[in-house]
Structures are given as structure tokens and as C-alpha cells.
Structure 1
Amino acid sequence: MSNKIWKSVFVVCAAGCLASCSDQMDYNEYNIFDKDYITQNFGNVGGFMTDIYNTVEYDFGNYSSGAMQASATDESEYSLLGNGIEHFYNGAWSPTNAKASVWSNMYKGISTCNHVIYELQGLSFDELKLNNDYAAQLHRYENYKYESRFMRAYFYFCLVRQYGDVPLVTKQITAEEVNSIERTSADEIFKFIIDECTEIQSLIIEDYSNLGEFSTGTEETGRADRLAVLALKARAALYWASPLFNPSSDKERYYMAALYTKELLDAAEKRGKGLTANYADLWDAGSFNTPGIMKEILYGRRYYKNSSGDNLVESNNYPVGIEGGVGGNCPTQNLVDAYDMINGKSISEDGSGYDEKNPYQDRDPRLEATVAVNGAQWPTYSGAAKIETFQGGINGEPLTGATPTGYYLKKLCNGAISLASNSKFKESRHTWLTFRLGEFYLNYAEAVFKYLGGADITSMEFPMSARAAASKTRQRAGMPDFEQGMDANTFWTKLCNERFVELAFEGHRFWDVRRWKEADQYFKNIVEMKLIKEADGSITYVRKNVSRQWDDKMYLFPIPQSERSKNPNLTQNPGWE
């Protein structure tokens, strides 16, 4: 390979949304330099790692000009008409409008990873040799190749879940080779991810908070460690076992998913990890350095524009009617209905106590943590009024951008932020939770249930039942465990619902429904709630059904036509020809 670094691949581009991925990793802008320059000092090489970490996905409303991917599902509806998120369900999605950012970003990340793995090894950094922390810095550098291999596997996971078969590039290749490479089967991609994680899990740094003599003095909580590797392997195995990628219903894949997830849970427990006490704390500004919150986070993508933080989530989702609010990603009635009553029964079950005239009373506490309902104090900063989402209310229709569903988003937002022009607290740090333990208890429940065939069945290898694992996140919220003795269909419905509730707006729903191949059940209809304030002050709640388009070809994304024009060997996904 030429010593000249390709600008399109290796330059760390200046962008509006820049994230520092650890307490030590700072953003730098690099020009085009030759290999000798890049490798002559530790900081230059470290810049490539920053670029890799900055490629990790997050979705604080950046998916489509403020819209989260959640608004392409039954989780939410974007309040401003004409946003590109509508293309997922209005027929405008196509190979020429392929939503191709993941394709380009992930392959850019893969190229940078391959460069670190093959071109930036065996260095000694003479300029550091007289420093007291030389051994620690060299230890950090030696870990780069394992971080890069983990990130490369992560980028391939993002690609395979979206496209299925994709080109597998595990070395540096020429531009000519790039434009002639064929797609590799999804099976082989998943095997690659799992094998890579298995190989590096004992090689990558186990715990950055316990480096001993190799400590640099600052806990690098934003870097991928052994638990992150185990998490990726376990999640990839579950996706590979799911109907979208497992048409023959091979139960051995569910066995492997259960085994790898148990391996992760056991390793996390050994490290002292566990569920944080308060669900809402997971999105606190201090989540990255608060031990009681960090205990659940296995890996998170930091997002902030400067040392104070940012207000991207709040500016994208605060209610219309307050200064700076645009409405944004508004939770649907579908999601609100998913929250059980505090007694553990769904709102439609006999004996639940659900009152249609007082619909938010005695509900799962995660509803209040996630959704801002009419009359709630939201935002929470001093002087903010209680929101009015009824027709004609200060935050309701017919105001432009007002919630069409009757709700606003609280989860992920910091309600103490005021977007007012005279505010002194306009920004705070945010962390996108790529992997957290709550997800993996539910992943384990799914894999064990599918493998063993029942909610309460255990084995010597899997002593925790699917029901027990699925109850973990409910226990944290103060909700009753799932009842014993449920039949398979009932438990599956309950488990899917628990994922809907627990993982709302964390980027899972879009992919869960696809990998289950259950979009006909969930994505063809959303429900809005129209609130009408009567003369006596009471509220009447009126449901409105809204149809959305779905075609089974949408289980996978179209291969971008721009890529196929450059490379005729890229075949198109079924239905998108």
C-alpha cells in the first residue's frame, strides 16, 4: 500500500456532532500526511482510534434532521410533516433513496480499523520513552489492535442487520478491488463477528478501572473492554438465531445465543455489574462517572459538543409552546398502552383496574420516566409550566409541530435544561447506551425460551429460566414478576411487550420487529390519542388509527443504487430490484 493516506478513508473529518469517547480521547483534525508522519508519535496514531470511536452509532434525533429511527416504528410519530423519516412508511423509500449513511459510515470505519490493524503495529514511540508513564501508554497502544478488531466486528453487525449479505473486507484493498467485490452471505458475516469476538475477548483490556501498573491515572470509561466484546458476541448470536436470519429455525443458534449471553451475564456479575437502582438514572448527565449508574452500562457512546455538553436531545424533543421546543419524536398510544398497571396486569386484562377516564393512574413507573403526558411537569426546570397536550392547549394542536399523538418524549432528555435565550443551564452531557445489562437479561430470556421451549424450563446449563430473566427489569421498576405457568404464546407476547417498554427509544424496536419478522403485526398501524378539554374541565380521550405502508421487502434495506453503479457485482436485495 502507498504511504499516502487516502483522504476519503483516513482523515478525521470536522463535523457538527463530535464526541469524545473517553475522558482521555480528544478530537483532533488531521490533514493528509504520509505514513512516516502518522507513526512518528503516539498522538497521531491515537487520532485514528478517536475516528473509529466517533463512527459508533447513536440516535439522539440525528437520524433524519431531528427524527429518531423510533419514529419509523410504532414507538413514536415525528410531529413536523415532511421529515425524511416518513420515507420508511410512505412509499418514498427506494434504492435511489436508500438511507445509505450506515453503508458509507460503517465501511469508512472498517477501512480505518483495517489500517490500524495492519499498518500501525509494532511502533515504539521514541518520544515517550523517557516518560514515567511510557509502559502504561505502550500498553494502551498495544490494545488498539484489539479495540479496532472489536469495532470492525461491531461495524459489520450494523451492516448485516440492515442489509443481510454484505461485502466482507478484512484487509486493506485497492479502489479497484472495492469496486468489484461481491456480497458475503449473512451467515458468514455473523460467523465472522462471533469468531472475532471469541478470539479477542481474552486479549482486549478486561477493565479500564483496574489497570494496575498500566494505569494512566484517568479511568477511560468510554473505551471498549472485555464486557463490550462479550455483549456484541451475544447480541449478534441472538440476531443470527432470529427468524429473519434463521429461516430453517435452527435451534442450535438459540442455544449459542443463550450460552454467549449467559457468559456475558456471569462475567458482568463477577465484575460487580448489575441493574442500576433507578431506571431513569441511566440517561442522567453523570451516567459516565457515577458508579451506581455505570454498573449497568457495558458500553456507551459519548455525545457532547463541548466540555459543557449539548442539548441535541432536548432541542429536538421539547414540547411546542415553550421557548426552543419543536415537538419532535412523540410517543404513540401503542407505546403508552404497552405499560402495564402497577399490579402487573395489562390494561386490557380483567381485574387490571384501568380507568379510561384516568388512563395514566397506577401504571408501570417506566411510563412516567419515558412519556410526558397531559398535566405533567415537563420540562422540570424552575418556572416551566405543566404541559397541555389537549386540543387548543399551550402545547397542543393546532400549533405547528405540536404532538399529533397526545404525548411528548421524556426519556433520554434532561428536563433541567432550559432552551430559553436567557438560560444559564442550556447544555449537559449525554451518553447513548450501546450495550446495557437490562437488554441482555431480556436477550437471555428470549434465547433460553426459544431453545428450551418454555418460560419456566431450566437446565443444568441454563439454571435461570426465561421468566426469571425477563422479570429482572420489572423488579427494578417495582413491577411484579411475570406469573409462573404461562403458555408459550402468552409468554412470548409478554416478553415482546417488556422489550417494547424497557428499551423504548434506545434503538431496538426498529430492529427487533424486523428480526422477528412481525412487522405486519406492529408496523402497519399506529394510534394517536386526541385529548379534548370539556367545558367542565374534564378530558375526553379519543383514539385515532393511522395506517402506514409496509412491504416485506422492507425487512432489509435496499443496497444503495449509487454503490451498485460503482460496483456491478453488488446484487440487490429481494423486492428492491
Structure 2
Amino acid sequence: MKINKLFQGVLVVLALASCNDEMNYNEYNIYGKDYITKNFQNVGGFMTDIYNTVDYDFGNYSGGAMQASATDESVYSKLGNSIEDFYNGAWSATNAKGSVWNSMYAGIKTCNHVLGQMQGLDFEELKLNADYGAQMHRYENYKYECRFMRAYFYFALVRQYGGVPLVTSELPAKVVNTLSRNSSDEVFDFIIKESNDIQDKIVADYSNLGQFSTGTEESGRADRLAVLALKARAALYWASPLFNTSNDRERYHDAARYTKELLDAAEARGKGLTAHYNDLWAAKSFNTPTIAKEIIFGRRYFKNPTGDNLVESNNYPVGIEGGSGGNCPTQNLVDAYDMKTTGLSINETGSGYDAAHPYKDRDPRLTATVAVNGDQWPTYSGATPLETFQGGVNGEPLTGATPTGYYLKKFCNGAISLAGNGKVKESFHTWLTFRMGEFYLNYAEAVFKYLGSADATTAEFPMSAREAANKTRRRVGMPDLSSSGDFWTRLCNERFVELAFEGHRFWDVRRWKEADHYFKEIYEMKLTKDSDGNISYTRRKVERQWDDRMYLFPIPQTERMKNGNLLQNPGW
């Protein structure tokens, strides 16, 4: 996203503003409002600050732990990490976890400032510039980008806390700290109404601006498809049991309509599934047309300022120079990958599963996501096959070695060597906020819940739920979902596999209210090697705590101390 060249003064102003009642342009003799609004670049700096608030999770908790390690996707390899608070009883209102409340409201504050104080500018001194028309086109679109981003921030808040205060204009702190929580219904309704209002006003496609093109890279900016995607996802969450306590079937109808609207618009623009699943996390995915066709909206994540590749160093196997183990996929996740030849789950009769060769003939997404014993991982020259068995080079009892028998491949660039003399030591990543694969599965869920059948179609919904769910399977050469068995169970499993580690599982299981089923028992695989080199596999169950109050986060106690009108979520 080429809107990240900022004047330092703009950044300082924003930092100061986040702590005060209003944007004070003159504090500490920092540039005044007249200077900030003098040219496009300075105003664009505020937009960059807003975009930089978009969430991602390549390891947001201490030591690079991902939220996935608070679910049945993975186990963090080092004991005592703060991610364990989600399931060991240490989670509380005074240990509220994460920074979403503060970061999302900071983003909302900046959006409200741009919408309230930076409208109606004409940049008089720049009118003779050759690119004046193109830059004004972008400037006029800022208000719609701001409204999209504000709605997105409210989505991040409502899925985590339920109802939150809706603030749509700049307010002094003394007023903000008296606000009560709006209901979750009101917040979801706001998101959907905002999306409906701006979807035909925001830029349709930044890669096709015609006379307003400046020739600069602008991937990463919110456009019409991003708005449609937010609306569709929000509608599906609103329809789900956590927020749809009256089981209003029409909410699934709306979710299906909005998702179809997105898919139709995206496909008309040439969007679809990229040919190769693991290409989605390649360093150049965001600007490679054959890969970017699946990406609707994402956030670029760069190596950190010291040059370290945090995604790789946080998740490379122990025993590899620079590796620390990190987020280790569970046996629960590995079991979810069906057999490739039959398309059946490993526990179904006739599946072809061989417990002595547990990774043979499995869904190709297993190989793309999980590193197993014997894999050449990482892939750079000189790396040796993994030994995750007890006493192996990459196995227990080494500190930080995988407790599950597996390491994470997804997101990691295996060509990266973290050795001091490594030739390749830089990698860039894109967090895929919205992608087509998710929305085919969202459509399948909404249509199935609305029509009540995996194979039902109507004039309004000519694609069945099963047909939509099969799209992600066909991409990797997997057989279609069978017409026998429980479709809902198979669809949930397909989401588990297709969207693994992409930030969905934590929220999916909560919105379905099925944590008792999925999150209480975590399975690990313990491998041992005998003197003849034979590997044996032993499953180990680890129990985690769950309480239904955990479906929503507690409102941070620090916020309730500032504002006594913020009622706490049940049970906290």
C-alpha cells in the first residue's frame, strides 16, 4: 500500500491526539492544522495511521504466540506464555487479554477526526499541479475509506465484546467516559447500514482508475469489494447463535444475500481461487495477479526494523538455528485433513487411513500447513529432515521443542535461513483479512442454515451450500463432500482445514457456541523411535478449562474504572 510515506510531524500529532480529548495540532509547537491540511501527503498520513490499525495475527502475544494457540489449532511450545491465560483460569477483567479495545477505539477516533475536520479541502496551492485531479479523486474517497475502516473496527469490537459504545463523531473525554454500551444488534446494524451506504460511493477498483491513475502501487486500499466483504461477514456473525439468540432465520437469509452479492461482484471483476493454495502466503502474493485474484483485502506485514524475520524465527523448529518452536499444530488439526483418494475422514470406514503411515495420501493442505517428522523443513539448502520424535534433533526434551509432534509451515518462507551467514534473510508477509476462499465457505454456511439443506437451490441462490463448499476442496484436488453424513460437521471441518491459522477458528467456535465440543480436549502426538529406526505414534490428551463466560471477552477493568456506565459482560 503506497500511502505509507509520512511526514514525521503527522505521526507525532497522531500520537499526541490518542491521549487527549481532541486533535491539538499546536501542542509542543508541532505543525498546526493549516500545515497538516496544506497538501495531499499530510492528509494521507492520517489515512495511513488508520490503515495501520487493521488487526493481524502473525504472533500478537508474547514470544510470537498466535491466538490459534488458544484454540484447538495449536499449542505454544514454551510453558508459561501469556496465551495460556485463555484456558488456565488466569483470564479476568484485570487481565483482559489483548489491546483491541484501545487500538480499535484509537482508530475510530482518527476516523471521526478525518470525517469531521478534514472534509471540504481544495488544496488551493496545488491546483496547477499535473496530478491535481488524480489526487483530489483520492482525497474525495478518503471519507468512504474512513467509514469502511470505522465499521471494520466496530466489527472487531463487537465480535470480541458484544455490544460496545457507538461513537460516530469527535467527543471530549468527559463525554466519552459517560457513554453506555450499545447492544450488539445496534452495532451490527450500524456496520451493515454503513456498508450499504458507501458500497457504491467508494472506489470500485484501485487497479482501474483510468484518468485518475498516478501509476503508483495502491494494492491494500479498501475498495467496493472490501466493503461488500465486511458487510457479508458481519451479517454471518450476526446470524450465528452467539448473537442470534432468537434464532431469527432471516438473518441467515441476509447473510446469504450479502455473500452472494460479494461473490457475484468479485467474480465479475475476475476474482476467484488462486490455483495453488500455498501461493497465498508467498512474499509477492499481494501483487502477483494470479495469486492476488483471491485476495479481497489484506495488510502487509514487513520484517521488523532489526531485519529479523519474526514469522520464521517465531515458528521455525527448535534445533534449527534461529528457530524457537512457537505455534505447534495439534493432532486435532492434523486429524481434520481427509484422505485424498477417498475424500473420507480418517475415522470413516473405508477411508484408507493407515495408522502406521499417518500422513500418507492426505489432503494436500496438510503438507502446506503442517511440518511432520521426516519433512525437509525448512527447505533451504543444507537443512536436514525433521526429527520430532523423543530425543530427535527437533524433538523433546529440548526447551521449546514441539509438544504436539508438529511444527507450523503455513505463513513461513522455508527458503529463509536464519543462520548468521544465511544468503536469504528477508521475507514479507500479507495478512489476508478477506479472501475468496473464506466467502465461498461463508456462503455455504449461510445458505445451508437458511434453506435447511446442503443441496437445496432457489432462483435467489442457484449455487447450493455443498457446491460452494466443494470449491475450496477442488482447488487442491480433493474429492467433493459426500452426500451422506452430517453436512454441518463436514462444513465446519472444511473451514478448520482451509482457514487454519488465519484468525477464524477462535471466533468461529465462539459464534457457533460450540467451545465445549472443540476447545476442552487438545490432542498431541508423541513419537518414539526404536533401535531399528521404526517410529511409533502415541496420542496424548491434554484438558483445558472452558467456561461459557469466555464466549465474550471481559470489558477491561481499566475502562470500567474510567466509565462506570460500562456494564461488564456476564460472568466476569
Q: TM (normalized to structure 2)?
A: 0.95
- State the match for 2:230 in structure 1: 232
Q: Structure 1 residue 106: deviation in Å?
A: 0.2
3-state SS of paired residue (2:376): coil
Deviation per residue, 1:267-301 (Å, 9 max, x gap): 00100001000000000001011000000000010
Cα distance in structure 1, aligned partners of 2:366 and 2:511: 25
Asked if 1:280 is matched to 2:259, the reply is: no
Do the aligned partners of 1:308 and 1:427 also contact (CA within 8 Å) in 2? Answer: no
- Which of 541, 548, 552 does residue 544 from structure 2 map onto? 548
3-state SS of paired residue (1:435): strand
Quick one: percent identity of the two aligned structures? Answer: 76
Q: In structure 2, give the amino acid aligned to 1:290.
A: T
- State the match for 2:343 in structure 1: 344
- State the match for 2:18 in structure 1: none
Q: Structure 1 residue 40: deviation in Å?
A: 1.7
Cα distance in structure 1, aligned partners of 2:304 and 2:323: 22
Deviation per residue, 1:513-552 (Å, 9 max, x gap): 0000000000001000000001110100000000000000
3-state SS of paired residue (2:133): helix
Do the aligned partners of 1:75 and 1:334 also contact (CA within 8 Å) in 2? Answer: yes
3-state SS of paired residue (1:513): helix
Matches within 5 A, 1:423-462: 423-462=422-461
- State the match for 1:9 in structure 2: none
- State the match for 2:16 in structure 1: none
Deviation per residue, 1:145-189 (Å, 9 max, x gap): 000000000000000000001010001101101110000000000
- State the match for 2:28 in structure 1: none
3-state SS of paired residue (1:532): strand
Q: Structure 1 residue 309: deviation in Å?
A: 7.8
3-state SS of paired residue (2:60): coil
- State the match for 2:418 in structure 1: 419
Cα distance in structure 2, aligned partners of 1:130 and 1:327: 57
Do the aligned partners of 1:405 and 1:529 also contact (CA within 8 Å) in 2? Answer: yes
Between stretches 418-427 and 457-466, larger displacement belongs to: 418-427
- State the match for 1:7 in structure 2: none
Do the aligned partners of 1:308 and 1:429 also contact (CA within 8 Å) in 2? Answer: no
Cα distance in structure 1, aligned partners of 2:7 and 2:95: 32
Matches within 5 A, 1:135-284: 135-284=133-282
Cα distance in structure 2, aligned partners of 1:566 and 1:394: 52
Do the aligned partners of 1:317 and 1:327 also contact (CA within 8 Å) in 2? Answer: yes
- Which of 489, 492, 501 does residue 488 from structure 2 map onto? 492
Matches within 5 A, 1:303-318: 303-305=301-303, 311-318=309-316
Do the aligned partners of 2:3 and 2:45 also contact (CA within 8 Å) in 1? Answer: no
Q: Structure 1 residue 25: deviation in Å?
A: 2.8
- State the match for 1:389 in structure 2: 388
3-state SS of paired residue (1:195): helix
3-state SS of paired residue (1:451): helix
Runs of 4 or more off by more than 6 Å in structure 1?
A: 306-309
3-state SS of paired residue (2:323): coil
- Which of 25, 41, 46 does residue 4 from structure 2 map onto? 25
- Call closer, same or farther: CA 1:443–1:310 in 2, change over 3 Å: farther
3-state SS of paired residue (1:90): coil
Cα distance in structure 1, aligned partners of 2:499 and 2:77: 22
Q: In structure 1, give the amino acid aligned to 2:358.
A: P
Do the aligned partners of 1:208 and 1:219 also contact (CA within 8 Å) in 2? Answer: no
Cα distance in structure 1, aligned partners of 2:532 and 2:479: 37
- State the match for 2:565 in structure 1: 569
- State the match for 1:105 in structure 2: 103
Asked if 1:510 is matched to 2:509, the reply is: no
- State the match for 2:523 in structure 1: 527
Cα distance in structure 1, aligned partners of 2:476 and 2:229: 23
Q: In structure 2, give the amino acid aligned to 1:446.
A: E
Q: Structure 1 residue 483: deviation in Å?
A: 2.1
Cα distance in structure 2, aligned partners of 1:124 and 1:313: 43
Do the aligned partners of 2:111 and 2:146 also contact (CA within 8 Å) in 1? Answer: yes
- Call closer, same or farther: CA 1:225–1:500 in 2, change over 3 Å: same
- Call closer, same or farther: CA 1:514–1:497 in 2, change over 3 Å: same
Q: Structure 1 residue 23: deviation in Å?
A: 3.0
Q: Structure 1 residue 27: deviation in Å?
A: 4.8
Do the aligned partners of 2:3 and 2:48 also contact (CA within 8 Å) in 1? Answer: no
Matches within 5 A, 1:34-113: 34-113=32-111
Q: Structure 1 residue 31: deviation in Å?
A: 2.7
Do the aligned partners of 2:444 and 2:469 also contact (CA within 8 Å) in 1? Answer: yes
Asked if 1:475 is matched to 2:474, the reply is: yes
Equivalent pairs counted in the alignment come to 552
Q: In structure 1, give the amino acid aligned to 2:512.
A: W
Cα distance in structure 2, aligned partners of 1:355 and 1:377: 22
Q: In structure 2, give the amino acid aligned to 1:64.
A: S
Do the aligned partners of 1:304 and 1:430 also contact (CA within 8 Å) in 2? Answer: yes
3-state SS of paired residue (1:31): helix
Do the aligned partners of 2:303 and 2:427 also contact (CA within 8 Å) in 1? Answer: no
Cα distance in structure 2, aligned partners of 1:337 and 1:412: 20
Asked if 1:410 is matched to 2:409, the reply is: yes
Cα distance in structure 2, aligned partners of 1:409 and 1:519: 23
Q: In structure 2, give the amino acid aligned to 1:318.
A: Y
Q: Structure 1 residue 308: deviation in Å?
A: 11
Cα distance in structure 1, aligned partners of 2:192 and 2:93: 30
Do the aligned partners of 1:309 and 1:430 also contact (CA within 8 Å) in 2? Answer: no
- Call closer, same or farther: CA 1:165–1:379 in 2, change over 3 Å: same
Q: In structure 2, give the amino acid aligned to 1:69.
A: Q
Do the aligned partners of 2:513 and 2:551 also contact (CA within 8 Å) in 1? Answer: yes
Cα distance in structure 1, aligned partners of 2:303 and 2:165: 33
Q: TM (normalized to structure 1)?
A: 0.94
Q: Structure 1 residue 28: deviation in Å?
A: 4.6
Cα distance in structure 2, aligned partners of 1:65 and 1:433: 22
- Call closer, same or farther: CA 1:492–1:28 in 2, change over 3 Å: farther
Do the aligned partners of 1:532 and 1:539 also contact (CA within 8 Å) in 2? Answer: yes
What is the RMSD computed on CA atoms of the aligned residues?
1.2
Deviation per residue, 1:333-360 (Å, 9 max, x gap): 0000000000200000011110101000
Do the aligned partners of 1:143 and 1:204 also contact (CA within 8 Å) in 2? Answer: yes
Q: Structure 1 residue 219: deviation in Å?
A: 3.4
Q: In structure 2, give the amino acid aligned to 1:26.
A: K
Cα distance in structure 2, aligned partners of 1:165 and 1:537: 57
Do the aligned partners of 2:454 and 2:464 also contact (CA within 8 Å) in 1? Answer: yes
Do the aligned partners of 1:96 and 1:561 also contact (CA within 8 Å) in 2? Answer: yes
Q: Structure 1 residue 423: deviation in Å?
A: 1.3
3-state SS of paired residue (2:300): strand
3-state SS of paired residue (1:288): helix
Do the aligned partners of 2:303 and 2:309 also contact (CA within 8 Å) in 1? Answer: no
Cα distance in structure 1, aligned partners of 2:103 and 2:305: 25
Between stretches 269-278 and 62-71, larger displacement belongs to: 62-71
Q: Structure 1 residue 218: deviation in Å?
A: 1.7
- State the match for 1:294 in structure 2: 292
Do the aligned partners of 1:100 and 1:560 also contact (CA within 8 Å) in 2? Answer: no
3-state SS of paired residue (2:385): coil
